[in-house]
A and B are shown apart, each in its own frame.
Chain A
Amino acid sequence: MLNEARQSTTEAHVLSALRDFIFPVFGESLIDLDAVRRIHIENGRVTIHLYLAAKVASLHGRLVLMIQNHLEGAGIHGVQVVIDSDASDEDFDFSVADARVRNILIVASGKGGVGKSSTAMNLALALRAEGASVGVLDADIYGPSMRTMLGVPESVKPVLVNEKYVEPIRKYGLATMSVGYLSPDKTPMIWRGPMAVKALQQLLEQTLWGDLDYLIVDMPPGTGDIHISLAQKLQRATALVVTTPQEVALIDARKGLEMFNKVGIPVLGIVENMATHVCSRCGFEEDIFGAHGAAKMAEDYGVAMLGSLPLDKKIREHLDSGIPSVARDPMSDISQCYAILAQRVAVAAWRAKITGMQMPHIEIA
């Protein structure tokens, strides 16, 4: 009896059972995400091969558990799940010289000082912790901050290769490049727009990034020359808009978001930074910069709210000391916030890719 039931399990059964299974972080079924590569059935034993185009290693265990539970509920027992999330050969957002980048994430905001760089850096490390290979480009030509935030000593300079390319500086497992690596700390870049644009283009294209799952571009504030050029250069990029909850920051964040709409770069969502402050003495929670502003904006523009990060002295302290929070203590509460953000960003980038691949169909009658 049991044997018969086993033998009657077919691929169609498994597929139809998977159709109404939604992994909460993914928000869509594995079928819609085109994640099911192969279903192998041998002697009644089902093996499902999944391909995830997002690096979320820390979720794999829970994903497998939930699939098994769900299929058991549908009467399919003893399912094996094999997850693969390695880059396939095709489909790079950006490839020049030696660089093959699967996803480009632009971290931007309209306003300065809302924590783009700290978010970008910790997000990069959190994606790294999810098993991705990650690069970070500091696109702020006038106020580079990467050297300080990663604690790269003044003596370390990028190595020139073949007179034309530079090796990125590797720290905490990230490949990083910044104009700050090329100039002494106290020398300002007194450049007009076109010079800055040219310099940034070189940093982007002449760095030997290698194979990357994610290249995070940490933008300067504003919507000027550099932003337009970079947006044109990186046509297949996706963007995150960082903001603090208060109205003055939101006004600028809206402009930042509108800019991406105008240049046709999909916005994955909004990251709310410095949301709540927990008093280190008494534990009192206070919304220093107000509350719900970013959520309202996300709703207005129909984009996702990817995460809400706390205002915590330690984030600032760790960056100033050259060891970002996620690198210093990957298990801390702050790091958990960044881990959740990284998972949502990775999934959002994946989903954007699926919708983005659908080119419009033209009919002339």
Chain B
Amino acid sequence: MSFYPPQKVRLKKDIGELEIIWQNGDIAKISCDELRRYCACSSCRSRKLIGVRLVTESAEIATVNLIGSTALQVVFADGHDRGIFPWPYVNAIATGRVQEFLNA
């Protein structure tokens, strides 16, 4: 049936990694750097589109919150919390298909 939402989301602060266990048991590991790079918020995405460097002080993640059952909000340690990542986008990051996903 449906692949989303995942069963479990585990934030490992010590190694800067987000681990996601999908519905079918597959485990995805995404580094916090990558989540910051592909931040889903509109300002980060627009900066990328026009080719301006992202304002990043740190990619450290303070916490993650569920947005309903459809997405994950990532709160970075520098206070940037506008990125809401829908599960398919998280999956795209994990499988290295971000560009494909955004262009589709």
B8 and A360 contact, CB distance less than 8 A: yes
- Check if A364 is an interface residue, CB within 8 A of chain B: yes
B12 and A264 contact, CB distance less than 8 A: no
A261-B88, A360-B69, A364-B63 are known contacts. Are A355 and B2 too (CB-CB below 8 A)?
Answer: yes
Interface size on A, residues (CB 8 A): 24
- Check if A130 is an interface residue, CB within 8 A of chain B: no
Complex-state Cα separation, A267 to B1, whole angstroms: 8
B9 and A235 contact, CB distance less than 8 A: no
Nearest CB of B to A147, in Å: 35
Beta-carbon contacts under 8 Å, A351-365 to B: 351-352, 355-356, 358-365
- Check if A287 is an interface residue, CB within 8 A of chain B: no
B57-89: CB near A (< 8 Å → 1, else 0) gives 000000111101111000000000000001110
A residues within 8 A CB of B3? 302
Q: Which residue of B lies closest to A352 (CB)?
A: B1
A residues within 8 A CB of B12? 365
A361 and B88 contact, CB distance less than 8 A: no
Q: Which residue of A lies closest to B87 (CB)?
A: A264
A365 and B13 contact, CB distance less than 8 A: yes
A359 and B69 contact, CB distance less than 8 A: yes
A235-B70, A262-B88 are known contacts. Are A362 and B64 too (CB-CB below 8 A)?
Answer: yes
Can you offer 30 A-B residue contacts whose CB atoms are under 8 A? A235-B68, A262-B86, A264-B86, A264-B88, A266-B4, A267-B2, A304-B1, A348-B1, A352-B2, A355-B1, A356-B2, A356-B69, A358-B7, A359-B5, A360-B7, A360-B8, A360-B66, A360-B69, A361-B7, A361-B8, A362-B8, A362-B9, A362-B64, A362-B65, A363-B8, A363-B9, A364-B63, A364-B64, A365-B10, A365-B12
| Interface residues of B, Cβ cutoff 8 Å to A | 1-14, 23, 63-66, 68-71, 86-88, 104
